Structure 1
Amino acid sequence: MSFSIGRTAAGLAALAVALCARPAVATEGGGSVYPFGAENYLTGALPPPGFYALFYGEAYFARKLVGNDGQDVTPPGFRLNANALVSRLVWVTPQKVLGGDFLLSLIVPMVNLHVEAAGRSQTKTGLGDITLSPGIGWHFGPNLHVIGAFDFFAPTGSYNKNDLANIGRNYWAFGPVYAASWVDPHGINADVKLGYLFNQINHATGYTSGNELYADYSLGWAATPQWVLGVGGYVTVQTTDDKDDRQTVSGNRHRAFAIGPSIKYASSKGWFVTAKWQHEMAVRNGAQGHAFWIRAVFPL
């Protein structure tokens, strides 16, 4: 379960590079439909049947582009800033499937994006790429919780192949998701969301981004039953080459690792908030920057 911001912004970096040098970023524009690092504590813990509203906020900025061998390929005056407010509706149905609770999730992002490079600049604000996800959640005792889902990313965000800034990716993508949470109000809390993306062709450019493996993670300690303190971030690796007009583009696969402090507060009234700051490192063929995430979950 995901939504298409964050790395969408990072992907625009490739267009900036193209203004003054050979593109040195992976996937089309170096981006992804999935916002790496978006999830945090309780990502695999499905609540009881009912409707839930989730709100995500992200502020991402980057001033550096990294090439295939780790070299700095940043063009003059490069700046990338993305801010997003994302609404997500989750319906946990009373229907049982394979012993678990069936769910549906709809994610709608609103994105503000600003890109500067080589004397050009552009700002866009609007609807990003929407995500629809059916899934099943299981509970294995009070501590271990698991969700299996399938994400469908729709190209609803604005896109123009000649623009410097594009909110949407202009292609469909889909893939399986597995999330697990270990929850202990008096001890260790650990979460992982593992996903794989099958990217489809962008018909405006004839380009197909390679498939991507990613994992969001968090690890913390419950200082009190309400507060969890720890770290979180993501890992991503592009597993197949891009294709340009169906010809393989080799030697430019994206990968990255991010880590930073993470926190969760859970109210006795059923809502909770998570927040984290993550620093990207070990980047290849993409933008390297920082992101602040906040997520709030409310029962309806």
Structure 2
Amino acid sequence: MKARQKLLAGVAACLCVTGASQVARATESGASLYVPGFKSAAYGIVPPPGFYFETDLYSYSGRLSAGKSTQLGGAVLANVKVQARAGFLTATWVTPAEILGGNLGFAATLPVGDPRVSAGAVVATPRFGRVLGDKMRDSDFLVGDPVLTSFIGWHKGNFHWQVGASASIPSGAYRDDALSNLSFNRLIGDIYVAATWLDPSIGLEVSGSAGYEINGRNYATQYTSGNAIHADLAISQYLTKELSVGFLAAHYQQVTRDSGAGDHLGSYRGRTTAVGGTISYTFNVAGAPISTRLKILREVKVENRPRGTIALLTIALPLGAPAAPGATPAAVHGD
């Protein structure tokens, strides 16, 4: 039992379960709330009641194939390259309140960073951007739309699961005369479920999640992005109670078309499949557990989106007094 508690504490005590720290990826301009790989390893585990802080450092480099066009703020562009370096600052509160036997929690995320976009050709309506010869490119340090999340998490033996909903509020620094934005400038909702099976006796963890993303209209461009489904899978092996390695897979697919007066590309539905790996390590600083995780995924099958490589570095820790020894999800719920 003691080994079980130590392993679960290493996995869960520092998890800030947000469902929120997302970045631009699909639909209008290839941007969506969902990021492949985010809701993956250990995502079904809600930590014990308390306050947590998480920083997610995100890096993406990709390009749209030369034969494809995409739309950014009313301009149709080709030969598009995308780079993003961003950070997502998340505060999470897991309350002691219970709903149907599960702990209720809330999270708020603020994205900041430097998205960079360049295009080799303007197909239609060149409205903005810095023109260098026959190329357009743009970058700036920006504040994105805040994301609010609520979730409920349960635990029973080796099985942990949660349901949640996130909303991206269009109040960031959106620039309607620029190519690159961290703000979506549209209301986005995401409803998801996630589950984790963790057997401390063998150190094996299997996690999965699925969700439905609902997109509103960007009134600056009169563009309504389609809705989408997404799913993540992670299989990890704990080599010690602090160190694990694993496999990741993710899929995103629009199920309704883009529309609106500003849509110049018609039924522009995006999809992507990504695979990769992850490594995590947990250590203590002044008695407080610090959880770190690196994820790297490569998009292997893409339609109507840039194809590239995703890197995520997560650092999470509890705020206030460190979690008490054995204060695992199982212990909190009396299992």
Give the gaps of 5 or more residues in structure 2.
1-18, 69-76, 121-134, 320-335
For 1:216-255, list aligned pairs within 5 A.
Answer: 216-245=232-261, 251-255=267-271
Task: Determine which of 92, 105, 111 is the counterpart of 1:109.
Answer: 111
Instruction: Verify: 1:132 aligned to 2:148, yes or no.
Output: yes
Could you tell me the TM-score, scaled by structure 2's length?
A: 0.77
Counterpart in the other structure of 1:93: 95
Checking the alignment, whether the CA contact within 8 Å between 1:66 and 1:288 is kept in structure 2 is no
Write the distance in 2 (CA, Å) between the matches of 1:56 and 1:92: 19
Write the distance in 1 (CA, Å) between the matches of 2:264 and 2:115: 30
Could you list the per-position Cα deviations for residues 80-128 of structure 1 after superposition, in whole angstroms to 9, with x for gaps in the alignment? 2100111111100011111100100111111211111121111111211
Counterpart in the other structure of 2:81: 79
Checking the alignment, whether the CA contact within 8 Å between 2:258 and 2:267 is kept in structure 1 is no
Counterpart in the other structure of 2:190: 175
The residue identity in structure 1 corresponding to 2:234 is: S
- The root-mean-square deviation of aligned C-alpha atoms, in Å, is 2.3
Checking the alignment, whether the CA contact within 8 Å between 1:242 and 1:248 is kept in structure 2 is no
Task: Determine which of 263, 268, 280 is the counterpart of 2:299.
Answer: 280
Task: Determine which of 215, 218, 222 is the counterpart of 1:206.
Answer: 222
Checking the alignment, whether the CA contact within 8 Å between 2:50 and 2:94 is kept in structure 1 is yes
SS of match in other structure, 2:259: strand
Write the distance in 1 (CA, Å) between the matches of 2:223 and 2:41: 35
The residue identity in structure 2 corresponding to 1:98 is: L
Could you list the per-position Cα deviations for residues 241-293 of structure 1 after superposition, in whole angstroms to 9, with x for gaps in the alignment? 11123989754211101111211113365331111111001100110000111
Write the distance in 1 (CA, Å) between the matches of 2:140 and 2:172: 11
Counterpart in the other structure of 2:15: none
The residue identity in structure 2 corresponding to 1:221 is: Q
User: How far off is 1:177 after superposition?
Assistant: 1.3
Write the distance in 2 (CA, Å) between the matches of 1:31 and 1:204: 15
Write the distance in 1 (CA, Å) between the matches of 2:78 and 2:224: 24
Relative distance call for 1:63 and 1:241 in structure 2 (3 A) is closer
Could you list the per-position Cα deviations for residues 9-31 of structure 1 after superposition, in whole angstroms to 9, with x for gaps in the alignment? xx5xxxxxxxxxxxxxxx22222
Relative distance call for 1:223 and 1:163 in structure 2 (3 A) is same
Write the distance in 1 (CA, Å) between the matches of 2:118 and 2:268: 23
Give the gaps of 5 or more residues in structure 1.
12-26, 69-73
Counterpart in the other structure of 2:309: 290
User: How far off is 1:36 after superposition?
Assistant: 2.8
User: How far off is 1:209 after superposition?
Assistant: 0.5
The residue identity in structure 1 corresponding to 2:62 is: A
Counterpart in the other structure of 2:20: 2
Write the distance in 1 (CA, Å) between the matches of 2:145 and 2:96: 29
SS of match in other structure, 1:103: strand
The residue identity in structure 2 corresponding to 1:3 is: S
Instruction: Verify: 1:123 aligned to 2:142, yes or no.
Output: no
SS of match in other structure, 1:286: coil
Checking the alignment, whether the CA contact within 8 Å between 1:6 and 1:60 is kept in structure 2 is no
The residue identity in structure 1 corresponding to 2:186 is: Y
The residue identity in structure 2 corresponding to 1:297 is: A
User: How far off is 1:145 after superposition?
Assistant: 0.8
Checking the alignment, whether the CA contact within 8 Å between 2:247 and 2:277 is kept in structure 1 is yes
The residue identity in structure 1 corresponding to 2:21 is: F
Could you tell me the TM-score, scaled by structure 1's length?
A: 0.85
The residue identity in structure 2 corresponding to 1:94 is: P
Write the distance in 2 (CA, Å) between the matches of 1:284 and 1:173: 21
Instruction: Verify: 1:261 aligned to 2:277, yes or no.
Output: yes
SS of match in other structure, 2:43: coil
The residue identity in structure 2 corresponding to 1:291 is: I
SS of match in other structure, 1:29: helix
Write the distance in 2 (CA, Å) between the matches of 1:50 and 1:64: 43
The residue identity in structure 2 corresponding to 1:36 is: P
SS of match in other structure, 2:29: helix
Kindly, what percent of the aligned residue pairs are identical?
30
Write the distance in 1 (CA, Å) between the matches of 2:317 and 2:169: 25
Counterpart in the other structure of 1:147: 162
Checking the alignment, whether the CA contact within 8 Å between 1:66 and 1:283 is kept in structure 2 is no
